[in-house]
Amino acid sequence: MRTRLSCSLACLVLLGIAQPAAAQIVQEGAAQEGEAVPPPPEGAQGLGPPVQTQVQVQVQEPIQAQPVQTQPVQNQPAQGASAYGGQPVYQAAPQAYPTPEPLVPAQRRGDRLEDTANAGEIVDLMITTGAYGVLLGNSIVTWADLDQTFDPATGMMIRSSDDVVRIRFVSTFLGAALSLTGLLASDAPRGVPTTMAMGLRFGLAFSAFGAGAASSSGSADDLLAVMAIGGVVGMGLGAGLGFGLRPHPSRSRFVESGFLWGTALGGMLGGWFGDNGQAVLGGMLAGSLGAMVAHSIVAALVPVHIGRGWLMNGAFAVGCGLAAFLTWGFGGGSVSGDTYLATMSATGFVALAVVFALTDFIQDAGWDESLPEVVRNMNIDVAPTQGGAIGNVRLTF
């Protein structure tokens, strides 16, 4: 009995000690969660003295969120799965390179139809008209016999030599002043002053060749008169061709370059077939006209370059000089003039043809692409007939 009583008392003491401890643990857990702690049951008060507990609730201030600073996104290299071990492969991002612009030749003044004449054309016309004025002024003095010092009828002195010099000087000065008329073409369309100057020059040359070939005993007055008229007519024809066709200056210069080798070849052939000066002058007239017609056909079909014409002239001159040197070296001084003329004209023409074929690629690239060609198509037909043949040339403008 004592033993059972002792065990019962010990259990009651342990319950009295354990109940307050358990209540304190429950209160602390509720305080952490922010909940109210329920009061102990009424039956538990008799088990021991009441335990007073203080619950301290700590309220923390809300934490203010700091603004997030964003950084600019940089272009990351593209990555892809690699076939080797699944490791990512980094590929460089493609970079855009500027596309190079096509090389376009610079447009020069005079390449377009709406351009006016450039300074070179005006200067060319002024020099040509000035030279023609000098020739015309001195021709007037000759026609009027203002350069004579004695009268053939009376044998008396008319004027002194000093007076003749003064008259010639004044006439030359006034004739050179005619070059100022070239300034009137400063507002002309491009190409027109060039054709005018060429017409004046070739009018003088062709009239001189024709007059010399037609008459063997012509006087100086007649020759000067024919040349003066021929110059005016040629200038008028050049102005008409310029305003009508509006050729590019390179075309006109290329046509003009044919005058040199054509005149030389025609003169050598004329001297080979004839024994007098009339044959030579006739050959020069025919050769220069034929060469310029041939150059005109070429210039009407392709955008020619003036450098090609000068190369052809140089080839002809080199061929003639080489032929003359070889002829002299092979035959010495006993070779006749006809042989010289034959070898020179043949070798020069062959060299001319070779250079013409090799320089086909030399064309003026600065022309306006919209510039129409003078001749768009050319067909040449030759049909045999009884005792000869008939040729037909068809041009499409």
pLDDT of residue 320: 94
What is the phi/psi pair of residue 369, to 5°?
Answer: -65, -25
From CA 56, how far away is CA 50, in angstroms rounded?
Answer: 19
From CA 369, how far away is CA 277, in angstroms rounded?
Answer: 48
Q: Provide the H-helix boundaries in the chain.
A: 2-33, 119-143, 161-176, 192-214, 220-245, 249-273, 277-301, 306-331, 337-358
236 in Cβ contact with 271 (< 8 Å): no
pLDDT of residue 366: 57
| The pairing of beta strand 78-81 with beta strand 88-91 | antiparallel
pLDDT of residue 162: 85
> On the CB side of 324, how many CA atoms lie within 13 Å of its CA?
11
Query: Which residues, in sequence order, are CB contacts of 42 under 8 Å at separation 6+?
Result: none
**Residue pointed to by tokens 């970079």:** 95
pLDDT of residue 303: 81
Structure tokens at 211: 């007059």
Under-70 pLDDT residues of the chain: 1-112, 216-218, 364-382, 387-389, 391, 393-397
pLDDT tens by residue, 134-180: 999 999 988 888 888 877 777 778 888 888 889 999 999 999 998 99
From CA 281, how far away is CA 287, in angstroms rounded?
Answer: 10
Structure tokens at 173: 């000065």
356: exposed, middle or buried (Cβ count in 10 Å: 0-12, 13-18, 19+): middle
pLDDT of residue 290: 93
